Amino acid sequence: MTDTLPEQTQNGSPDVRTRARRLLPWLGSLQSYIGLVLIVAIGIATQGDTFLDQTNLTNAVGNFASRGILAVGVTLVILTAGIDLSVGSLLGFASMASAMMLANHDMPVWQIVPLCMLIGAAFGFVNGVGTSVLRIQSFVMTLAMLSIARGLDRQMSDNQSVGTTVAGPDGKLTENAEAFQSLGTPGHNVGVGFLGPDGVYYPVLAFVVVCVVFHLILSRTAFGRHIYAVGGNPTAARLSGINVTLVVIAVFTLSGMLAGFAGPIDAAYSVSADPQAGNTYELDAIAAAVIGGASLAGGKGTIIGTFVGALILTLLDNVLGLNAVSDNWQLVIKGLIVVVAVVLQRPGLLRTLRHRLTPAEKETAP
């Protein structure tokens, strides 16, 4: 009942309070930035230039890039009030597929990456159909897919890891294996020359580009608005003429496609595809989205938020590692940070803030 009170007072004098009200949700999304700023500050305070060093930041973001890309796909699904638990397994499958395409068929990178995206998209499409047409809860559908994709991965690889440093008869790396390294093997950059003198590390580039593309899709297109509408209120979305089924199938397909895209990156980073690759990555991806402000109830969240969430997770890991914090405490600290981040984003917290702020604004207003 007190909820209505600020509304009424705000109607009284619109300018200041409306402005404050408009600012508040934006500030709300800034809460996750506070966490990031804090971690960066700790990093600089404890390690200074060692932390801020470009190589270090590249390594840190590069390490998380494949999970960050998963997080973008998962964010799309979470926005529709669904969940995608299968992305870790799909990444594992795509990682194994890419390594086998390279090792057994000597395929070039420009064929491997699109094919892996197609494979991922196919799995994602099945998730979407299961969720929307067969009306299986996305939690259950993608949990089943987690198991199915992992099983197929293991069957396909016979539980053996497959290396990506494939040597030709002369003992040197084959041309295609050489090119595959640029997808994420440490120390191998792309675009040397036209993207700076040293080039850029592809996993970082790929992650940033994926974020930009999907940020634009969500914020600038009708499809993006439909995703929010479906997550916010599916009935209202349906009544306003949105094809909910199609939107749901599309987001799962995109999520799968991104997992397929991330697969070769993970294989190149590990210099091999392991049958267990990507195991529990879905939890990191969901954590990044949730820390970034996505609500599991749907309709709320942004790609920028997810990007920040991913940075928080990986830079936190980096700062703890550089400071040689014991492995046991690292786990505790990481868990606490997630809790703090989620508490900060609680809508109730925002409302309390609004309550507190409104009278204060009233007093300072002339």
Partner 1 sequence: MTRTPRTAAAAALAAVLALSAGCASKTDDGTGGSGKDGDKSTFTIGYSQANNAEPYRAQLNKQLRYFAKQHKNIKLLPIADAEQDNARQVSQVQQFIQQKVDVLIVSPNEPDPLTPAVEQACQAKIPVIILDRDVKTDCYDSFIGGDNYQIGKKAGEAAIKALPDGGNVAEIRGLLSTDPQKQRHKGFADALKGHDDIKVVEQREGKWLQPEGTKIMQQWLQRGTRIDLVYAHNDPMAIGAQSAAAGAGKAKDIDFIGIDGLAIPDGGIRAVQQGKMIATYLYPTGAEEAAETAAALAEGKSVQKKQTLDTTEITKSNAEDVYGRYDMSKKSG
Interface ranges with partner 1 (CB under 8 A) = 47, 50, 53, 55-56, 59, 63, 83, 85, 103, 139-140, 143-144, 147, 150, 154, 158-163, 185-188, 266, 269-272, 274-276, 283, 286, 290, 296, 317-318, 321-322, 324, 327-328
Instruction: Give whichever of 56 and 174 is closer to partner 1, judged by the CB atom.
Output: 56
Instruction: Give whichever of 160 and 240 is closer to partner 1, judged by the CB atom.
Output: 160
Nearest to 203 by CA among 194, 192, 190, 219: 190
Cβ–Cβ under 8 Å, residues 231 and 79: yes
Nearest-approach distance from CB 344 to partner 1, in angstroms: 15
Nearest-approach distance from CB 159 to partner 1, in angstroms: 3
Backbone angles phi, psi at 196, to 5 degrees: 90, 160
Nearest-approach distance from CB 353 to partner 1, in angstroms: 23
Identity of residue 176: N
State the burial class of residue 88 (Cβ atoms within 10 Å of its Cβ: 0-12, 13-18, 19+). buried
**CA dihedral over 169, 172, 174, 180, signed as positive or negative:** positive
Instruction: Give whichever of 186 and 225 is closer to partner 1, judged by the CB atom.
Output: 186
Cβ–Cβ under 8 Å, residues 192 and 49: no
Instruction: Give whichever of 6 and 203 is closer to partner 1, judged by the CB atom.
Output: 203
Nearest-approach distance from CB 302 to partner 1, in angstroms: 19
Q: Dihedral (C-alpha) 110, 278, 161, 164: value to the nearest 10 degrees?
A: 30
Backbone angles phi, psi at 185, to 5 degrees: -60, 130
Nearest-approach distance from CB 87 to partner 1, in angstroms: 13
Instruction: Give whichever of 55 and 111 is closer to partner 1, judged by the CB atom.
Output: 55
